[in-house]
A = this chain, B = another copy of it.
Amino acid sequence: MKLSKKSDYALRAMIYLSMQYKKGAIQIKEISAKEKIPQKFLENILLVLRKVGILNSKIGLNGGYELARSPDLITLGEVIRALDGAIAPVDCVSKISYKPCSEEVTCVIRGVMLDIRNAITDVLDRMTFADMCSRVKDSMEKKETGVLTYTI
């Protein structure tokens, strides 16, 4: 039940890009430095996100990445699925990599796993990067009043 490093990095990069939405292309190098993510690894991650249509890219000098849609139209679930595949704990309750188990109809474990899948996707498929930005801004405000420090 673990979030992969890949997805973790992807979420951080996505939040970073969401915070800069509509401010032009941001380069891998910048994200990598600011978020302390190995640059070459991040390259692969952003490439995937572009291929599934979450990011747009611009090649060449002053190129970089930007969100393909508004942050409120991209959910954490979409990003995690793009990188790690299914969110469901077992394939027989997965939407995107569904495989029937031997006795699916009556398997009592399946029932529980379905509950868990729904609980997880309830969070991940509702939460957008716009929401994440709000949270970051909340943290930043608290920082100004001396309460907290901000981190993605």
Interface of A toward B, CB cutoff 8 Å: 1-3, 8, 11-12, 15, 76, 84, 86-90, 102-103, 105-109, 111-113, 115-116, 119-120, 122-124, 127, 132, 135-136, 139, 142-143, 148-152
Contact = CB atoms under 8 A, between A and B. Distances in A.
Contact of A107 (B87, B119, B142, B152): B152
Number of copies: 2
Nearest to A3: B89
A15 B107 CA distance: 11
B2 A106 contact: no
B148 A127 contact: no
A122 B123 contact: no
A139 B148 CA distance: 52
Choose among A116, A127, A149 the residue with the greatest number of B CB atoms under 10 Å from its CB: A116
Nearest to A150: B106
Contacts of A112: 76, 123-124, 127, 132
A136 B8 CA distance: 38
